[in-house]
Amino acid sequence: MRVLTILAVAALVTLIAPAVHAYSRIKDIADIEGVRENMLVGYGLVVGLNGTGDSLRNAPGTQQSLQAMLERLGVNTRGANLSSGNVAAVIVTANLPAFATQGTRIDVTVSALGDAKNLQGGTLLVTPLLAADGNIYAIAQGQLAINGFSAQGQASSLTRGVPTSGRIASGAIVEREIKFDLGSMQALRLALRNPDFTTARRVSEAINTFVGTKAASASDPATIRVNVPTAYQNNIVGLLTDIEQLRVQPDLPAKVVIDEASGIIVMGSDVRVSSVAIAQGNLTIRVTEFPQVSQPEPFSRGETTVVPRSEIEVEDSADKKLAVLRSGVSLQQLVNGLNALGVGPRDMIAILQAIKAAGALQAEIEVM
């Protein structure tokens, strides 16, 4: 009896408990203007391949780069017939983190540029990495780590993953820092990752409540301007740390996202449907051909012919019913109602678009 009483009380508490809202940290829904990564790119050579590199005859850029590198090292190969298959031209990419200091290491990704078949076992030579302004911010070099592999025999071949792309952990050293004086700023700007008027207002109100003054204001659906309070004049990092941990409830518009290629449907929790009646039925006609061979009697003058035979089946889904969705149904009720019709994802896409065309779907439909 005691166990039953506890279970009954727990069930009652579950029924009368208020709905739990999804609160998120400001750190997870907004970015700080100026605190971001920067993309780097470079062109280099990978050596040490086991005959799986670029064919120099089909990749003149690789040959020119190889000759230029050897000349810088004091080896003159102009006019020589180079035929090595152990070298590959590659593109090196990396992301320079915010506030990365000189001498720190970052990861790089190496991708084949020519007709190399496999970069397994290769070593990237010294490669400068440039940003959009044309300046060199890092230098990359090191042994490649390849996730895929490729094997080939006389009659068959096997390839798993992408053997022409690899990664070098901590393969680049930062040589130049990006100047950004965060400590001297008198105002900060927060950029919402999903712009929304309501969310921007809630974020500014949460910040004002925390600092005790009207320091934050939403200038548009994506930007919240924060004036540095007097108590944080020399402690910008402390202000950002405290702001990032504040929790707000993001608000997003009702939206239905549809990917017709894969049949994926994603519906937001605020999607609502007005009163509407839905009927779904497919007409399927299946034609099956199974020709038969007709042969003449022995020692007769007849000919062997193929006699066509066809079987036609018609399925009109006569057992499908007309369903009524009442006004203001929730997302769960909408899904249950569509599932009750026995429809698949692709038929459900057509139904949602028809409901929207009828003006009964109170949400935006976005087709990917």
* DSSP assignment letter at 178: P
What's the rounded Cα separation, in Å, for the pair 70 and 64?
10
The pLDDT of residue 321 is 54
Contact 343, 352 (CB under 8 A): no
The pLDDT of residue 289 is 56
Question: What's the average model confidence in pLDDT over 155-179?
Answer: 86
The larger pLDDT score, comparing residue 263 to residue 316, is at: 263
The pLDDT of residue 3 is 42
Structure tokens at 318: 């006569």
Structure tokens at 354: 């028809």
At a CB cut-off of 8 Å and minimum separation 6, what does 205 contact? 216
Mean model confidence pLDDT for the chain? 80
| Euclidean distance between the first and the last CA atom of the chain, given in angstroms as a whole number | 56
Question: What's the average model confidence in pLDDT over 254-271?
Answer: 80
pLDDT at 11 over 60: no
What's the rounded Cα separation, in Å, for the pair 213 and 215?
6
What's the rounded Cα separation, in Å, for the pair 61 and 44?
11
What's the rounded Cα separation, in Å, for the pair 285 and 132?
58
What's the rounded Cα separation, in Å, for the pair 368 and 360?
22
Q: What is the pTM of this model?
A: 0.68
What's the rounded Cα separation, in Å, for the pair 112 and 106?
20
What's the rounded Cα separation, in Å, for the pair 274 and 361?
6
At a CB cut-off of 8 Å and minimum separation 6, what does 247 contact? 23, 24, 25, 26, 206
Q: Half-sphere exposure (CA, 13 Å, Cβ side) for 281?
A: 12
- Residue 209 identity (one-letter amino acid): T
**45-59, 178-192, 333-347: range with lowest mean pLDDT:** 333-347
SS (H, E, C) 217-284: EEEECCEEEEECCHHHCCCHHHHHHHHHCCEECCCCCCEEEEECCCCEEEECCCCEECCEEEECCCCE
Give kind and range of the element (H or E) at residue 199: helix 197-211
The pLDDT of residue 52 is 87
Contact 141, 126 (CB under 8 A): yes
Distance of CA 117 to the CA centre of its chain: 27
- Residue 315 identity (one-letter amino acid): E
At a CB cut-off of 8 Å and minimum separation 6, what does 342 contact? 280, 320
What's the rounded Cα separation, in Å, for the pair 87 and 150?
17
Rg of the chain in Å (alpha carbons): 33
Structure tokens at 154: 């006389």
pLDDT at 81 over 60: yes
The pLDDT of residue 4 is 42
Residue-range domain boundaries for the chain: 38-174, 187-248, 256-292+305-367
pLDDT digits (tens, 9 = 90+) for 89-117: 999 999 999 899 999 999 999 999 988 88
Task: Say whether 55 sits in a helix, a strand or coil.
Answer: coil
Residue 330's nearest CA partner among 341, 318, 338 is 338
**63-77, 203-217, 260-274: range with lowest mean pLDDT:** 260-274
